[in-house]
Amino acid sequence: MTRLAPGSFAWLARHELRLAWRGRRRGGKRQALALVLLGLYLAAGIAVAYLLMGVPIDYRAEIGIGILAASVVALSFMTTQAILGSQQTLYESRDLDLLLTAPIEGRVVLLAKLAGIAGAIALTYAGLLLPVVVPVAILGHPHLLGVVALLVALALTAAAIGIAVTLTLASIAGPRAARTVGQVAAAVLGGALFLFSQLSHGGQGRRSSFAVIFEDLRAWGWGENGWSGVPGHAAFGDPVSLAILLTIGVALFAGTGAVLQRLFLSGYQDAGMRLSRARPTGKASARLFHAGLFRPVLAKEWRLLARDPGLVFQVILRLVYLIPLMLVAFRGSGGLIAPGLAFASVLVATQLTGSFAWLAVSGEDVPELIAVAPVHKQRVDQAKLAAALLMAAPIAALLPIAIATVGRSPLGALISLIATAIGGTIAGYIELKLAKPGQRSAFAKRRGGSAIAGILGMIVAAIFGGGAAAIVYFIG
Amino acid sequence: MTEALRIRGLAKAFDKPVISGLDLDIAAGQLYALLGPNGAGKTTTLRMVTGLTRPDAGSIEIFGVDALADPIAAKAITAWLPDEPMLYDKLSPLEYLAFVAGLWRMEPHVASEEAERLLHWLDLWEQRDTRCEGFSRGMKQKVALAGALIHDPKLLILDEPLTGLDAAMARAVKDALREQVDRGKTVIVTTHILEVAERMADRIGIIGGGKLLAEGTLDELRDRAGTEGMTLEDTFIRLTSGA
């Protein structure tokens, strides 16, 4: 094995890539399952490659548009990942203390961190693409190895954008605001394309939004030549397109290291100093103390949620992702607003209470404090479930109110409200009983802990939402 | 003399036995130092006392309350302060104390007054509305200590309470513990800083190999180890060398 000079960029980059790789590894059964799935996926890729042997795969404008769209979507998700990775590097990682006290240039540290972020991103997508693309390329279509280069270029670009966004925000608004805005920006980027596709073509009957966009782009001549065809041509191994994309990626990567070195150092140095907030609550101390268990638990849960805008946004974003389902519900109700709203109301309530209950119970930051307190865990959990329901109630009540006003069905509103309350309570209870403990910051990945809780939550939403919609439909 | 803690036949194994048949009696109203080499089972023992870890065998009584049969009653008179403070970064000290007071079902006006007193006493009053996320380790330890004291526990158990504290903070914590003992409370600490145990503890217990190797005042331990006139460090090494 080649020995890299200790302290060099390559040496540090290898260290970061090793960390990124180890961060992916799972222990025991999960790793075995992942390997089995990867093996099956690879086998499917090889089968596809054999099927495509001898079949000409030539570039067409339609393919070019598809690759362009996939590249834009992938870049937006990659940038999301890069922003979160940059935030972790700047505000949560502890190894910068070690790296920045070592006799190594800050620029080298920054570039190595960028390499680690890009590597983590590339790994994510490599697992999805390469088991299919590489066999197909080896078995008769070598030009498709351009996909690998396209992936590398996108990962480099996303890493550079991600850290640039984070550092710029930190220098303008301070590390605290950068962290919050970054989390929100990452969530928006992740959902923006999806939302755009759903909302921008909402009025064209049952045709897929993606199909409408695709036809528009085809009509405008996209994907053939010019810049819109570059990703597609690169994926098909065109050397000029590959050179353009890789040059952009590498230039952004290296340029970020050179230009943002100072911001990086000051951003990190400030992060440790300015993250605390000394804003007075303005409340008399006696008002903070309440009798009984419920109010202190509710106050604590509310404060922890309200002081984490990134988390609030993630919860809200989950509702945004429900919009297509709601649109389906509206279409399915034959134009009747009230049944669709009744279904949506239960769906929203189950999602919200499920999320809040997970945060309150599984996402408990200090479980040992609860464990040593002289209260039964069941009582604390009940208080937390009640807190989750209360926090969800203002939003969950909106749709039943809409049924009463827009849908002009007070009885339907009452039925929806009851179904919403029951569905929400059951969804919260499922989280209490089945969800696995995790960190609040890992809210987005909480389903990795218990898929059963997620499935049961959806079943509850379907049963109570469907039931409420049916009753509201029949009572007119 | 009333016993604050009475442990009989306590046993716990994870991959291998950590505590095997531990017997321990700690009288009320004293500061008791529990010492032992790394991995001796000090923290495991205290976690079993506080109800955080379930023992495989044995019994635990806290002021006569069976902690395994009636954990709620036992917890009501006990406070636990681990080496890593149990805090919410996004709550201020005052908000944290309000939450802890709620968990221990304190009367609001009593809890409020006690919180104010503790925050003044621990020199945290100016930071009472500042979120804990930017606090130094010492400040976090003091907030956690306030949380442990707010419900006026009869038994206060601290795991390495002085680790990472500067001299002034360490003095403040030691003074706080001594004051608790002077008020008739019982304090159990684990520490690797033997000078602290030597100066502060009324009695010292040394755990090794999952059992209580020796127990008594410093002079009693010296007699047993044959280290008259020598430091606790010498005595400790002599007593644990065969464990």
Decide if B101 touches A, using CB distance below 8 A: yes
The DSSP secondary-structure symbol of B7 reads E
> Residue B188: what pLDDT?
95
Decide if A375 touches B, using CB distance below 8 A: yes
Instruction: Identify the CA nearest to A99 among candidates A224, A11, A192.
Output: A11
At A433, the pLDDT band (50, 70, 90 cuts) reads confident
Question: Cα-Cα-Cα-Cα dihedral of A236, A237, A238, A243, to 10°?
Answer: 130
Shortest Cα distance from B79 to chain A (angstroms)? 8
Cα separation, A184 vs A206, whole angstroms: 32
Helix (H/G/I), strand (E/B), else coil: B12? strand
Size of interface A-B (CB pairs under 8 A): 119
Of B75, B76, B103, the CB nearest to A296: B103
Residues 6+ apart with CB under 8 A from B236: B35, B194, B206
From chain A, the residues in CB contact with B111 under 8 A are: 289
Pairwise CB contact (< 8 Å): B102 & A297: yes
**DSSP conformation letters of A152-179:** HHHHHHHHHHHHHHHHHHHHHHHHHHHH
pLDDT above 60: residue A330 = no
Q: Which pair of structure tokens corresponds to residue A455? A: 């499935």
Q: Mind listing the pLDDT tens digit for each residue in A228-243? A: 888 988 998 899 999 9
Which amino acid does the sequence have at B189? V
Of B72, B79, B90, the CB nearest to A308: B90
> Residue A116: what pLDDT?
87
* Cα dist from A2 to A5, A6, A112, A113, A115, whole Å: 10, 12, 18, 21, 19
pLDDT above 50: residue A277 = no
Q: Mind listing the pLDDT tens digit for each residue in A147-183? A: 999 999 999 999 998 888 888 877 776 666 666 666 6
> Residue A278: what pLDDT?
46
> Residue A321: what pLDDT?
64
Helix (H/G/I), strand (E/B), else coil: A255? helix
Q: Bigger pLDDT: B217 or A103?
A: B217
> Residue A239: what pLDDT?
92
**Residues A85 and A169: beta-carbon distance below 8 Å:** no
Shortest Cα distance from B41 to chain A (angstroms)? 19
Residue A364 CB burial class (10 angstroms; 0-12, 13-18, ≥19): buried
Decide if A280 touches B, using CB distance below 8 A: yes
pLDDT above 60: residue A99 = yes
Pairwise CB contact (< 8 Å): B105 & A281: no
Residues above pLDDT 90, as percent of chain A: 10
Shortest CA distance from A383: residue in chain B:
B103
**DSSP conformation letters of B123-166:** T-GGGTTS-GGG--HHHHHHHHHHHHHTT--SEEEEESTTTT--
Instruction: Identify the CA nearest to A424 among candidates A397, A442, A447, A444.
Output: A397
From chain B, the residues in CB contact with A296 under 8 A are: 98-99, 101-103
Pairwise CB contact (< 8 Å): A299 & B95: yes
Residues 2-41 on B with a CB inside 8 Å of A are none
Shortest CA distance from A282: residue in chain B:
B129
Decide if A371 touches B, using CB distance below 8 A: yes
Cα separation, B77 vs B66, whole angstroms: 12
Cα separation, A79 vs A236, whole angstroms: 24
Question: Can you name the residues that pair with B17 across neighbouring β-strands?
Answer: B13
**Residues A461 and A347: beta-carbon distance below 8 Å:** yes
> Residue B234: what pLDDT?
82
> Residue A276: what pLDDT?
43
Shortest Cα distance from A312 to chain B (angstroms)? 14
Shortest CA distance from A280: residue in chain B:
B129
Pairwise CB contact (< 8 Å): B134 & A275: yes
Cα separation, B190 vs B35, whole angstroms: 6
**For chain B, counts of helices (H) and of strands (E):** 9, 10
Residue A200 CB burial class (10 angstroms; 0-12, 13-18, ≥19): exposed
**Residues B227 and B235: beta-carbon distance below 8 Å:** yes
Residues 6+ apart with CB under 8 A from A331: A206
Note the ipTM here.
0.75
> Residue B182: what pLDDT?
93
Digitized pLDDT (tens) for each residue of chain B, 243 residues in all: 689 999 999 999 887 888 999 999 999 999 999 998 888 889 889 989 988 888 999 999 999 999 999 988 999 999 999 888 888 888 889 989 988 888 888 888 999 999 999 999 888 999 998 888 888 888 888 899 999 999 999 999 999 888 777 788 888 888 889 999 999 999 999 988 888 888 889 999 999 888 898 899 888 888 887 877 777 888 888 877 765
From chain A, the residues in CB contact with B75 under 8 A are: 372-374
Cα separation, B123 vs B112, whole angstroms: 16
At A187, the pLDDT band (50, 70, 90 cuts) reads low
From chain B, the residues in CB contact with A291 under 8 A are: 107-108
From chain A, the residues in CB contact with B134 under 8 A are: 274-277
> Residue A151: what pLDDT?
92
From chain B, the residues in CB contact with A290 under 8 A are: 98, 102, 108
Which amino acid does the sequence have at A408? R
Q: Average pLDDT, stretch A293-302?
A: 88
Residue B221 CB burial class (10 angstroms; 0-12, 13-18, ≥19): buried
CA angle B42, B47, B50 (to 5 degrees): 130
Q: Bigger pLDDT: A311 or B26?
A: B26
Average model confidence (pLDDT) for chain A?
A: 79
At A272, the pLDDT band (50, 70, 90 cuts) reads very low
Cα separation, A378 vs B105, whole angstroms: 16
Q: Which pair of structure tokens corresponds to residue A88? A: 């972790």
Residue pointed to by tokens 């513990």: B177
From chain A, the residues in CB contact with B78 under 8 A are: 372
Q: Mind listing the pLDDT tens digit for each residue in A105-133? A: 778 888 888 888 888 888 888 888 889 99
